[in-house]
A and B are shown apart, each in its own frame.
Chain A
Amino acid sequence: MSGVARRDLLRGGGLVVLFALAGTGVGQEGGTSGGGEGTGAPPEVAPELPGSLAEFPHLDAWIRIAPDGAATVFTGKAELGQGIGMALLQIAADELDLPLERVSLVTADTARTPDEGITSGSQSLQNSGTAIANAAANVRYLLAERAAQLFRVAAQTLTTTNGIVRARDGRQASYGELAASLSLHVEARPDVRRKRVDARDHIGRDRPRRDIPPKLTGAAAYVQDMRMPGMLHARVIRGPAEGTRLTAPDFDAIARLPGIAQVVRVGDFAAMLGPREWPLVQAMLAVGRVPWARDDTPLPQGDLREAIRNLPTEPEVILARDAVTLPAVRRITARYDRPYLMHGAIGPSCAVALWKDGAMTVWTHSQGVYPLRSALAELLDLPLERIRCIHREGAGCYGHNGADDVAADAALAARAVPGRPVKLTWTREQEHGWEPLGPAMVTELSAALDANGHIAEWTHAVWSNTHSTRPSQAGDLLAGLEVGRGFAPSPPRAIPQPNGGGDRNAIPLYTLPRATITNMFVPQMPVRVSALRGLGAHMNVFAIESMIDELAMAAGGDPVAFRLRHLSDPRAIAVIRTLADRFGWARQKSERWRGQGFAFARYKNSGAYCAVAIDLRVEPETGKTTVLRADAAVDAGETVSPDGLRNQIEGGIVQSISWTAHEEVRFDTARRTAFDWSSYPILRFDAAPQRMAVHVIDRPGQPFLGAGEASQGPAAAAFANALARATRQRLRSMPLNAERIRIALDGFGTR
């Protein structure tokens, strides 16, 4: 074979290669589905296999080949708008050697897909992507092996292209005919090698997302758009906000309102059903006039951050290093904190449920269909096999919002009308009022420099409630607490390191010879909270990266150089250098009321590396900030979809600027007072950065590193650092909004 022909074969054709050595599959740990949130995935049964194959080693759990040769891929992860669907298809098409259009995807469905726990923790590519890649490589190998038997040649001499296995002598067989004589109900082998990096067609290239054109032209794309014969619409009836209940609602009067077919009551749970939505919307106005009272313990007075800081803790030291260092010559002690934040889905939570022939089917935008099924089983007193939860997209959730609660509401309502599907939608006010919030957090840091300008000592303590109350049992669902059957919420728990909850990313990647880092876990929850994108990483990276800048300033050095001096991980260094170079960091000059800020973190210290630089201007009279530019560099290991990765990082930066600079859930003594977009404003187009660029550092052949939450922390800190340079005032309490900036400037007489 000539050199050219051989190269063509390797590149275009995907030579079938089996290595007899173990460990030549892509090395990526299995397990830990969901970043430590929730009740975890099933036990590993094949720990030698990568990604979620460790829990589900059989190939047909992941991939099936139809007689026409088309492939169906199954993932236990859900499309949340992060673009995971297309990325998984690209991986499968590449490793199977099938045209992209001949591969379809089935996402999280308790009747069809593997139980991959919760779609969270930026782990879909790490767990599911790795499993699918290796399962697909196995399937391609089995198909070739079957062809080798038919052709009586060695499998290693065969090539695959576009769903056809070819022998050197020109004989060929299609995947469809080969698969028909083959069982894929076999365990994956760890020694089947994935395609060579340079033979891939789709991984690492931009492929337009399949879901976008229908979403942009009016197809029924979301659970909110589902319509089924005989379907009833529904609204749930409860108090105006978490911790309240209606006092003596007149359900008979509500049932008599026009367009209301039925009021379903189970204990204190109540929902109203009707054939059309508008009468239900009007009836909700009547419900809004029913008196209510707080039925939980009173809310603490004042800023709830103080309450969290002062409640009893279960401290855990998560890092203790006490190497001998040079004496400390300069010390900075500071507290950084954030308020409660809202997920704020643009589409309120919604679910469709159907109770038919003694079985319940729920279409849900929950991030965890399997754990939800367990909770519903207890709530409905049904065996697991009588409940099916099917993921359907909703509006983006960014963590645990009302998705699971509304699924329970819909299921309870549907049980009263056998055979009729029920679509239950929360109102905007219910979404704002009842979603579990992102926890308020307090961090206290103290750090010292030695005479050489190195960090000699570092302490960091973080006070926070749990960062996951995702449901695993009936008492974790709002309806579970209303049905009067004695269900109680699962006891709050800290998510252990290395993922961490409140202490996620509390351990910096910097070289710190003397350090004590403590997770001050606060079990008692004044307010219902749960996972919000990034969990504790948003607060901890904000605190760490603010402190790093404070130290760099104290050391009289450049903050980027200061960071590089304290890093040894070459990929961290590469990300920082790339961004500094592309942003033109060295050429930036801070003017009065204009400043640039830099920040870096590796998400969970195990996911993607991300650095963000922000250039902003402050209007001193008003405190208003304008982000002139926000750039990022990211290393997410092997990049499947560069544009998809940029989309996630861009979105994370904008969302994080909104959280960091604009958002705060406020409370009165009885309840949260954020009930719509006027009482909980978020960033609008006028406050979006003027320019943004995301630089992707691709690492072909390296494991996938989750990136969906990677920019939340760095963006927050880069904003704070830019603001500090622009104003010469360090703001450490979020939100860094116009009001706080103006107060800070007034306080120092700079006007």
Chain B
Amino acid sequence: MIELTINGTRHRIDGDPAEPLLYVLRDDLGLYAAKFGCGLGQCGSCTVLVDGKPAQSCITPIAALEDRVVMTIEGLGSARTPGPVQQAFIDEQAAQCGYCIPGMIARAEALLRADPRPSEAAMRDAMRPSLCRCGTHMRILRAVRRAAVAMGGGIVDPAEPVS
């Protein structure tokens, strides 16, 4: 029996302690934002926040998450009341197929918590582990910049102005 705190709710998981968090989220808890992309920790589609830091849930066993605070992007807001990072992505229409975007949002959230006024290089560095195949990179970066401004931080060296 493993106790997990996810989006502020405690869950008792009676399963394999080696099972990666992603399958627990999707199979047992009905939390679909984190996506299966590779199962190898290479693409970032499954990214969630663990103690505020980005973690690839496809390779993070639940046994490693006891006494940790897990947040998925369901915990950041809803379609009706999106969180500030989600709202910035909506405002920038920063999605094509959108499959990678929940992972992007989790990563951006972690970045802005740690560094509310990130440099362009810090932003790209933070987002680098996440892959997007539609080529939405420019919009994703615009959304991160917009979120940084909206959340009271800002941006250091705007390569592109926030639209």
Contact = CB atoms under 8 A, between A and B. Distances in A.
A410 to B, nearest CB: 16
A81 B138 CA distance: 16
Contacts of A326: none
A726 B157 CA distance: 26
Contacts of A393: 97
Nearest to A79: B97
Contacts of A684: 128, 131
A276 B28 CA distance: 9
B105 interface: yes
A249 interface: no
Contact of B134 (A81, A217, A222): A81
B31 A218 contact: yes
Nearest to A213: B79
B89 A677 contact: no
Contact of A209 (B73, B93, B159): B93
A691 B159 CA distance: 6
Nearest to B39: A428
Contact of B37 (A428, A654, A690): A428
A546 interface: no
B102 A218 contact: yes
A216 B82 contact: yes
Nearest to A425: B36
A623 B149 CA distance: 36
B124 A348 contact: no
Contacts of A208: 90, 93
Interface in A383-417: 393-396, 398
Interface string A211-235: 1111111111110110100000000
Interface in B103-155: 105, 120, 123-125, 127-128, 130-141
B93 A643 contact: yes
Contact of A278 (B19, B100, B123): B19
B26 interface: yes
A347 B36 contact: yes
Given A218-B31, A647-B139, A650-B135, A346 B37 contact: yes
B124 A686 contact: yes
A654 B38 CA distance: 22
A217 B32 contact: no
A218 B100 CA distance: 12
Interface in A662-716: 676-678, 682-686, 688-692
A310 to B, nearest CB: 32
Of A215, A216, A278, most B-chain CB atoms within 10 Å = A216
A676 B40 contact: yes
Question: What is the interface residue range for chain B against chain A?
Answer: 35 or more
Interface of A is mostly: loop
B135 A651 contact: yes
Of B16, B76, B99, most A-chain CB atoms within 10 Å = B99
A622 B128 CA distance: 20
Contacts of A395: 35, 37, 97, 99-100, 133
Given A81-B98, A276-B23, A346-B131, A216 B90 contact: yes
Nearest to A281: B39
A80 interface: yes
B32 A219 contact: yes
Contacts, number: 187
Contacts of A212: 89-90, 93, 95, 98
A277 B131 contact: no
Nearest to A628: B159
Contact of B36 (A221, A348, A689): A348
A459 interface: no
Contacts of B97: 80-81, 346, 393-396
A53 to B, nearest CB: 28
B20 A217 contact: no
B129 to A, nearest CB: 8
A346 B74 contact: no
Nearest to A689: B138
Contacts of A220: 32
A427 to B, nearest CB: 7
Contacts of A650: 135-136, 138-139
Interface residues of A, number: 63
Contact of A688 (B23, B124, B133): B124
Contacts of A653: 135
B57 interface: no
A217 B27 contact: no
A655 interface: yes
B27 A647 contact: no
B86 interface: yes
Given A208-B90, A212-B93, A345-B133, A688 B138 contact: yes
A589 to B, nearest CB: 21
A76 interface: no
B118 to A, nearest CB: 12
Given A213-B90, A277-B23, A277-B27, A685 B128 contact: yes
Contact of A396 (B40, B105, B133, B137): B133
Interface string A266-288: 00000000001110010000000
B27 A213 contact: no
B108 to A, nearest CB: 11
A82 interface: yes
B101 interface: yes
B100 to A, nearest CB: 5
A676 B45 contact: no
A531 to B, nearest CB: 16
Contacts of B128: 684-686
Contacts of B139: 647, 650
A678 B135 contact: no
Given A686-B124, A688-B124, A347 B37 contact: yes
Given A216-B86, A217-B73, A276-B27, A396 B96 contact: yes
Nearest to A650: B138
A17 B132 CA distance: 47
Contact of B98 (A221, A652, A689): A221
Contact of B72 (A218, A648, A658, A688): A218
A118 to B, nearest CB: 17
B160 interface: yes
Nearest to A83: B96
Contacts of A281: 23, 39
A81 B131 CA distance: 16
Contact of A217 (B37, B77, B130, B137): B77
Interface string A137-173: 0000000000000000000000000000000000000
A81 B23 contact: no
A347 B76 CA distance: 23
Of A678, A685, A686, A689, most B-chain CB atoms within 10 Å = A685
13 contacts: A208-B93, A209-B95, A212-B98, A215-B102, A217-B86, A218-B72, A225-B26, A278-B15, A278-B20, A393-B97, A396-B99, A651-B96, A655-B133
Q: Which 7 A-B residue pairings sit nearest by Cβ, starting from the closest?
A: A81-B97, A654-B135, A218-B33, A396-B97, A651-B135, A395-B99, A215-B98
Interface of A: 80-83, 206, 208-209, 211-222, 224-225, 227, 276-278, 281, 344-348, 393-396, 398, 425, 427-428, 643-644, 647-648, 650-655, 658, 676-678, 682-686, 688-692
Given A346-B99, A653-B135, 9 more contacts: A346-B35, A347-B99, A650-B135, A658-B135, A677-B40, A677-B43, A688-B124, A692-B138, A692-B160
